[in-house]
Amino acid sequence: MGTTKVLRDAREALHDGGLRGSFLVRDLDTGDELAIDAEVEYPIASLVKVPLAIATLERVGRGELDLATAIVVQPGRVTVPGPTGLTKFRHPATVALEDLLYLSTAISDGTAADALFALTPPAAVTAELRRLGYDGIVVRHLMGDLTQTPAERFAPTEVHLAHSLAIGAATAGQGHPVAQLDISRANVGSARTFVDLLEGLWRPTTIQPATAARVRELMTNNVIRQRLAPDFSSDASRWSSKTGTLLNLRHEVGVVEHADGQAFAVAALTESRVPAVLQPETEALMAQVARTLRDHLRMA
């Protein structure tokens, strides 16, 4: 099957499944890639925890922070479904900086991430990315802001109404009355900018090797594996990734390393037109499209 047909079929599948998506798959050794709207910016939700981990570890490498530093973290006390770790805690906890990195990146703990942001604020994370040569990701706000959306204001049986608002209120220019979904106010990035960052972690040039190795390890230990992992994990491959979810947004970025030595960076950033909280069919479709692009690239 030719590349043009592969991409056309993928676009049609996304449309039929109620998804708008930005996808990019890149061979990390040859640079060959396949893309669908890879430059489109999206609010990135928890994907921001990857740049946060990089910025934190770069500062550790310069001696500005100590991984053993004990930090008292106030409990998140969030009761709605979804958040993990300290965000669900009801009492203060003392956690080492290195363990906050694990909680933030591997189990997507927003409260742990905000404890790291207290040391390296959003603007400083963006500045660190620019220093390293990565221009397309902008970090503007804390993770706690993601628990202050319309979804938290509805009863569990009415959360679909928040998704209807998220879908229906967007403007053609990707503005939105919900600040966390407005690309001029949210943390933002694209499939291309995240694949560039993944390449910088798996084939480091400006990122310190120790930083890159630790972030790769944290992403390998990611416990949220229902989205792309089923299509990229096997006994003959390793999938290392980070997910991001906010209202109708579902994202995942990662690297699949095959036993034969090939490695592919994958980014899938999507927004659903279906006003529902649980959408396993959507996540399966994301994985199907991403794997189709990888398979075609691998066989080319």
pLDDT value, residue 247? 85
Each domain of the chain, given as residue ranges in start order, spans 3-47+136-299
The total number of residues written for the chain in this structure:
300
Name residues of the chain where pLDDT drops below 70. Answer: 79-82, 146-177
Neighbouring C-beta atoms of residue 65, cutoff 10 Å: 18
Tens digit of pLDDT for each residue in 149-202? Answer: 555 555 555 555 555 655 555 555 566 667 777 888 899 999 999 999 999 999
Any idea what the Cα angle at residue 202 is, between residues 119 and 271, rounded to 5°? 75
User: With contact defined as beta carbons under 8 Å apart, do 97 and 32 qualify?
Assistant: no
CATH code for the domain defined by 3-47+136-299: 3.40.710.10
- Give the closest residue to 111 by CA, choosing from 93, 87, 133: 87
- Give the closest residue to 128 by CA, choosing from 48, 190, 214: 48
pLDDT value, residue 183? 83
For the chain, how big is the Rg over CA atoms in Å? 18
User: With contact defined as beta carbons under 8 Å apart, do 290 and 3 qualify?
Assistant: no
Q: Is 14 exposed, middle or buried (0-12, 13-18, 19+ CB in 10 A)?
A: buried
| Bridge partners, residue 127, by sequence | none
pLDDT value, residue 153? 56
